[in-house]
A = this chain, B = another copy of it.
């Protein structure tokens, strides 16, 4: 069984490598046409996709899978429309391939250009969200790459339904075997097979794990191919002594409640000591109103009085990615205290400060190490669309290759092209 599974995925990966040359050679127009076709097919296959997804969700509920994960797994007519719109947006983005990012003439008279080129084969390993199947394919394909997609077992039927749409739209522009291998959905959950893919140096050019700790560890341990990880987001909002308190309350409450299962949702609010007496009771009332619960340190519990929204935190609540309507809240001693807490418990994902003091804001930005640091704005803006990339495949918490939202450019490499007239050295 394992040997068959390994042989199958290795065959698929080599086919993907051949297909990557085909994708990389497609003119912009052909790549965009396939994406337009995909957007249409997602809409016209909506009922079929929802039906497959409903079966995945039912199985997941029967297996006792938690609410946060179910929320990530579930599709709706609206989310499918949003997926189709996303694909159309990717089609409309400028083609990164061939873009000249640097151009000089050297003293030796060489015309030197740095040119964007596809990576080749991108492998994505992810968990519940079936929408990733569409997002990852569309971005990889637009950037001239073939992709190998390994989704979560719990989303198998949803992913297969979406992959069918992709294959049909590729067939519309394809000629022969390559179009099928331009997107390979790996359906085995055999760990040895996944390990074999992660060891395929020279075939898989980049592997992107996106998910929880266990997934990231697995990939880290076994990957011989380059990886950029999309790890969890333990995001903090620090309400500084000089904060506009109403702004702090709004940012914290919405960053917790608007999409609690996302990696850029706030997990912990840090309240500066001088304003804790005023802010903590207001935050507790806001939690009661907005329907989230607070795990507070001793000071927070004291200051919140008898708020039913507040329970005492324990050490495990710091650095925890709740992914639900729970917010850890801690009183810290000034900016130093906040920076220290974030250095210890943060995940280099997204950190925000609320302050009217420009010097404090600058200090926070300089001292906090995160892919995105925000002043007076919600952590939820750390997102490829919101930051202007047009789309994203996820948010990298690696510093190498890409740090923060990965858009089209982050799915390319840059190579050098030099035109001379016989120069030697």
Contacts and interface: CB of A to CB of B under 8 A. Distances in A.
Given A205-B399, A220-B201, A224-B220, A258 B416 contact: no
Interface string A359-389: 0010001100111111111101110001110
Interface string A390-425: 000000001111011100000001111111111111
Number of copies: 2
A416 to B, nearest CB: 4
Nearest to A416: B372
A28 to B, nearest CB: 14
Contacts of A224: 220-221
Nearest to A382: B416
Most B C-beta atoms less than 10 A away, residue of A117, A120, A221, A381: A381
Nearest to A202: B348
Contacts of A380: 424-425
A9 interface: no
A76 interface: no
B423 A381 contact: yes
Interface in A63-94: none
Given A224-B220, A424-B254, A418 B371 contact: no
Interface in A219-277: 220-221, 224, 226-228, 244, 247, 250-251, 254-255, 258
A419 B362 CA distance: 10
A204 to B, nearest CB: 11
A413 B403 contact: yes
A119 interface: yes
Chain A interface, >50% SS class: mixed
Contacts of A401: 226, 400-401
A244 B112 contact: no
A420 B377 contact: yes
A1 interface: no
Given A413-B400, A421-B376, A108 B386 contact: yes
A233 B215 CA distance: 35
A234 B258 CA distance: 54
A388 B419 contact: no
Interface in A184-238: 201, 205-206, 220-221, 224, 226-228
A119 B399 CA distance: 7
A247 B421 CA distance: 9
Given A106-B388, A220-B201, A399-B205, A372 B415 contact: yes
A355 to B, nearest CB: 11
Given A112-B387, A220-B224, A388-B112, A404 B378 contact: no
Given A388-B104, A400-B206, A381 B226 contact: no
A110 interface: yes
22 contacts: A25-B366, A106-B386, A106-B387, A108-B386, A110-B386, A112-B388, A117-B369, A119-B399, A201-B220, A220-B224, A226-B399, A369-B415, A371-B415, A373-B415, A374-B417, A374-B420, A377-B424, A378-B425, A387-B418, A400-B401, A401-B401, A404-B416
Given A106-B387, A381-B418, A400-B413, 11 more contacts: A25-B366, A104-B388, A120-B369, A206-B400, A372-B417, A373-B415, A373-B417, A376-B419, A376-B423, A403-B414, A403-B415
Smallest CB-CB A-B distances: 7 pairs: A377-B420, A372-B416, A254-B424, A399-B413, A226-B400, A247-B422, A401-B401
Interface of A: 25, 104, 106, 108, 110, 112, 117, 119-120, 201, 205-206, 220-221, 224, 226-228, 244, 247, 250-251, 254-255, 258, 361, 365-366, 369-378, 380-382, 386-388, 398-401, 403-405, 413-425
